[in-house]
């Protein structure tokens, strides 16, 4: 296995980062995760735009431009002979003396990891997964901007620990006002009274790329959609619930806390529509020929 580290591909055993890296010391950095279908990174431009937005919001200058990052990603996939993969792109503040001052780090650390995409168990999509609403609240938006896809994940980890204690797969967090935000690694949708509902960005959540695609597909399929403020009672009263993210795509939920749901038709419809969208995107990108990789 090869990892892209800073400016070159290196064998996995040589892909090391200093213990003085501020990503390790303080979680100071940003990242993106992407899914690759048949040699094509899905929604790569959108992921890179969000990456640069996150970096700007923490005052981090990314050492490569978008085209060089694109090249690094595809070089990593090629070096590992991967056609269907999971890609993790990480940029930390970099090496520097101990201390919080960002100016202590002169050069960010850039890493691309690509691994074979292992599908979730089929039973998850047939029967759904269990979810809890965590006691751990989502970070306040005016403390840490949720539009930053940050390396500092302790808030989410604490909620995940709660889920594991309850033998649940995922946890949904509430904001300080008691409204639903997002899961530890996912966005939340539920269907109630013929309306597809999802928490609004203003509730304090990351604008997931899969979330955006699903909202567009729902409108295209003629569904009534509402983004807004929702509490526990709203999701507990839903007819069906599902989660979305880059790797799981559209994942049905059979239980939230003690409330159980059927794996419903709306989730099935949108999962099918999402896969069709992915296939169309891949065909379109492959049709561009060499420009697929963003460089000749």
Tokens 């006002």 sit on residue = 177
Q: What is the domain-level CATH number for residue 46?
A: 3.30.470.10
Asked whether residue 289 is domain-assigned, the answer is no
The answer to whether 97 and 20 have CB atoms below 8 angstroms apart is: yes
Q: What is the pLDDT of residue 290?
A: 52
Same structural domain, 93 and 134: no
C-alpha closest to that of 242 among 199, 178, 193, 191: 191
From 190, 182, 132, select the one nearest 161 (Cα to Cα): 132
**Greatest CA separation for the chain:** 56
Pair (131, 259) in one structural domain = yes
In a domain, 293, yes or no: no
Instruction: Please tell me the total count of domains within the chain.
Output: 2
Q: What is the rounded CA–CA span in Å between residue 172 and residue 42?
A: 26
Chain segment 233-288, per-residue pLDDT in tens: 999 999 999 999 999 999 999 999 999 999 999 999 999 999 999 999 999 998 88
Domain boundary among 61, 83, 116: 116
Task: Average the pLDDT over 207-230 and give the result.
Answer: 98
Question: Are residues 145 and 103 both part of a single domain?
Answer: no
Closest CA to 91 of 109, 68, 113, 76: 109
Q: Which of 116, 135, 157 is the last residue of a domain?
A: 116
Q: Which helix (H) or strand (E) holds 74?
A: helix 66-79
Residues 184 and 231 in one domain: yes
DSSP letters spanning 140-179: PTTTS-TTS-BS--HHHHHHHHHHHHTT-SEEEEE-TTS-
Q: Are residues 93 and 141 in the same domain?
A: no
Are residues 238 and 177 both part of a single domain?
Answer: yes
- Separation of alpha carbons 282 and 88, rounded Å: 20
Nearest 5°: CA angle at 226, between 145 and 265?
115
Residue 149 is among the residues annotated as catalytic for this protein = yes
Tell me, yes or no, whether 294 lies in a domain. Answer: no
- Same domain? 133 vs 236: yes
pLDDT for res 287:
85
Q: Does residue 132 share a domain with residue 105?
A: no
Q: Is the pLDDT of residue 293 over 70?
A: no
Domain range holding 52? 2-116
Residues 108 and 138 in one domain: no
Residues 36 and 92 in one domain: yes
| Calpha distance 244→209 (Å, rounded) | 9
pLDDT score, position 289: 62
Tokens at 136, concatenated: 């751990």
- One domain, residues 31 and 138: no
Give 35's strand partners: 86
Q: In the listed set 116, 138, 161, which residue is the last one of a domain according to the structure?
A: 116
Domain CATH code at residue 154:
3.20.10.10
Helix (H) or strand (E) holding 11: strand 8-11
Which residues, other chains included, contact 278 with Cβ-Cβ below 8 Å and sequence gap of 6+? 37, 42
Tens-digit pLDDT profile for residues 105-163: 999 999 999 999 999 999 999 999 999 999 999 999 999 999 999 999 999 999 999 99
Contact by Cβ (8 Å): 195, 225: yes
Query: Which candidate in 149, 164, 232, 233 is catalytic?
Result: 149
Q: Strand, coil or helix: what is 224?
A: strand
Contact 91, 51 (CB under 8 A): yes
For 145-272, strand residue ranges (E) read 170-174, 180-183, 187-192, 195-199, 224-228, 240-245, 249-256, 259-260
């Amino acid at each position: 296995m090869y990892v892209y580290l800073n400016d070159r591909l290196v064998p996995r055993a040589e892909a090391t980062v200093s213990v003085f890296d501020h990503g390790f010391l303080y979680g100071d950095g940003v990242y993106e995760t992407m899914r690759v279908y048949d040699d094509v990174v899905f929604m790569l431009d959108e992921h890179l735009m969000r990456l640069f937005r996150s970096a700007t919001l923490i005052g981090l200058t990314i050492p490569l431009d978008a085209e060089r990052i694109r090249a690094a990603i595809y070089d990593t996939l090629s070096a590992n002979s991967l056609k269907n993969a999971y890609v993790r792109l990480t940029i930390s503040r970099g090496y520097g003396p101990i201390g919080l001052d960002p100016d202590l780090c002169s050069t960010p650390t850039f890493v691309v990891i690509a691994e074979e995409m292992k599908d979730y168990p089929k039973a998850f999509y047939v029967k759904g997964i269990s979810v809890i609403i965590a006691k751990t609240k989502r970070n306040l938006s005016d403390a840490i901007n949720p539009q930053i896809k940050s390396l500092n994940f302790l808030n989410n980890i604490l909620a995940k620990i709660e889920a594991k204690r309850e033998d649940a797969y995922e946890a949904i967090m509430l904001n300080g006002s008691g409204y639903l935000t997002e899961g530890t690694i996912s966005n939340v949708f539920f269907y109630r009274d013929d309306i597809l509902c999802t928490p609004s960005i203003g509730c304090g959540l990351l604008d997931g790329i899969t979330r955006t695609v699903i909202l567009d597909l729902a409108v295209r399929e003629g569904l009534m959609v509402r983004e807004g403020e929702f509490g526990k009672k709203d999701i507990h009263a839903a007819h069906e619930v599902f989660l979305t993210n880059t790797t799981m795509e559209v994942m049905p939920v059979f239980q939230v806390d003690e409330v159980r749901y059927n794996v419903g038709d709306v989730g099935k419809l949108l999962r099918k529509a999402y896969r069709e969208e992915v296939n169309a995107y891949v065909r379109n990108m492959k049709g561009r020929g060499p420009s697929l990789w963003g460089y000749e």
